[in-house]
Chains A and B, each alone.
Chain A
């Protein structure tokens, strides 16, 4: 039992090491991780500063909410892209055939890619968080320990979406790879990153309700405005994430089997 767990851990580390070695040897890849979060944070930071100078204290809150939204949204985005792109790296290097004939279980592969997405997310986000504090005196950690729960929910949502994207790649081949970059942007309006859900029109509001991210951002605004933790919103976020993750895992498992039946694991990427 212990030996089996040790072997499993070693296999997970093996796949992680493959991706860490890739970044270790490529500074442009490392810079790319932080480039977009920093750019986003700068644009919204200056916007928030401009609003605060013209309108006053109401805009100061809005500015804080904007920056908090930008940084937290990057958690979801980087988590999703981190997982999807790590899988795509195997396709681009035509290495999937080797990986899938090794004793690495599909679940271990997912765990390794999830761990890599966390590392990629942190590598991208930490510089942006530090810069937000230096440039705009915006301290994301002022939200308090509940920030960890916001992070956790957004990461889980990102992973669920990434698993669905990987399932589509398994189904439709590398032609579906553009989704790895674009799919989460389609959810942005319903996540209510920069505005409350109540602003949304009827219909969109119902969709937002079933998106875990919308509850996180509602919770973030409540925390920033009233200084209280909205456990109800957090509960919805966790509950929905559970459903999303279970659904995505089911689809991934099913599509993996379909890929093995259709021979897609041999031909994928060609």
Chain B
């Protein structure tokens, strides 16, 4: 792993301004703005249909926004997304890797797509760190859900990204493996200064990994802050209660009563 930060801590690596996505009559994302500082981890939280996946898809350039602007690593994603994409990566349990290819072949493919130098060594390094050595020659489609999640994480780290977008990174993992993955992500961020945007329904994970949280509901940001800020504001002991308060429209004052 690299030891240097790609940016100074004060710089915003991700800047999202007034991001909007409309599908005909449906407003999926409605004027969302946020920044993520270098080395920070932002948790994107919200119930189903809140706009998390749509926001991530726009950040990755898979989806063209109806309005608004996204800048990642200094590149405007509308005009210059490939320069940013080379230094980003992404993992989601909802997107698969080719199941008939072995784990090693899959990682080789993405090593080439991201122009990684020394692909074999990088694969060996990731296999060792994510406990994938025994799985390398197995077809990706024959793995258990938890193993697939670890392989997807390895794929997302193949290019040593400066920006990592993770959608449910520990979905389907048993508590022990999930904990290992979280520890690994914490270490990776500490050692590389990688900036992470994380969408998760696991509130314990968000509390542990995220420096900031954005709460989305019906495509709009309804609250934001550090996990500690949110707990204090809502008078709760854990983020899950805060999540439920927001999801069920229990406002701050109502909760306080």
* CB closest chain-B residue, reference A262: B23
Q: Flag the segment in A11-19, A53-61, A71-79, A177-185 that touches B.
A: A11-19
A242 to chain B: which residues have CB within 8 Å? none
Asked if residues B23 and A95 are in contact (CB atoms below 8 Å), the reply is no
Docked-complex contact B112 and A10, CB < 8 angstroms: yes
Q: How far is the CB of A20 from chain B (nearest CB, A)?
A: 10
Q: Is the CB of B112 within 8 A of A98?
A: no
Shortest B235–chain A CB gap in Å is 38
The answer to whether A7 and B115 touch across the interface, beta carbons within 8 angstroms, is yes
| Closest 10 A/B residue pairs (Cβ) | A14-B112, A97-B95, A94-B96, A103-B86, A14-B113, A93-B98, A102-B113, A7-B115, A101-B60, A18-B109
Number of A-B contacts defined by CB within 8 Å: 101
Q: Mark B40-68, 1 if CB is under 8 A from A, else 0.
A: 00000000000001100100111110000
CB distance from A56 to the nearest CB of B (A): 52
Interface pairs (26), CB distance under 8 Å = A6-B115, A7-B115, A10-B115, A14-B108, A14-B112, A17-B105, A21-B105, A21-B108, A93-B100, A95-B97, A97-B94, A98-B95, A98-B110, A98-B155, A99-B113, A100-B61, A101-B88, A102-B85, A103-B85, A104-B113, A105-B82, A260-B61, A262-B23, A263-B23, A263-B54, A263-B63
* Residue on B nearest A4 in the bound complex, by CB: B115
- Does the CB pair A93–B97 fall under 8 Å? yes
Residue of A nearest to B155 (CB): A98
The reply to whether B101 and A266 contact each other, CB–CB distance below 8 Å, is no
For residue A204, CB closer than 8 A to chain B, the reply is no
A246–B115 Cα distance when bound, in Å, is 30
* Chain B contact patch, size range: 35 or more
Residues of B within 8 A of A97 (CB): 62, 92, 94-95
| A9 to B61 alpha-carbon distance, docked (Å) | 22
- Does chain B have a CB within 8 A of A39? no
Q: Which residues of B contact A (CB under 8 A)?
A: 23, 53-54, 57, 60-64, 82, 85-86, 88-90, 92, 94-102, 105, 108-115, 139, 155
* Interface range for A: 20 to 34
**Closest chain B CB from A265 CB (angstroms):** 5
B95, A94: Cβ atoms closer than 8 Å? yes
A105 to B113, CA, bound (A): 10
A14 touches B111 (CB 8 A): yes
Complex interface: chain A residues within 8 A of B114 (CB): 102-103
- Distance to closest chain B CB from A235 (angstroms): 38
B100-A101 in contact (CB<8A): no
Q: Does A257 contact B (CB under 8 A)?
A: yes
Q: Complex: how many Å from CA A98 to CA B64?
A: 17
Q: Are A95 and B113 in contact (CB under 8 A)?
A: no
Q: Taking the complex as formed, is A135 at the interface, i.e. its CB lies under 8 A from any CB of chain B?
A: no
Residue numbers in A under 8 Å from B97 (CB-CB): 93, 95, 98
Q: Which residues of B contact A21 (CB under 8 A)?
A: 101-102, 105, 108-109
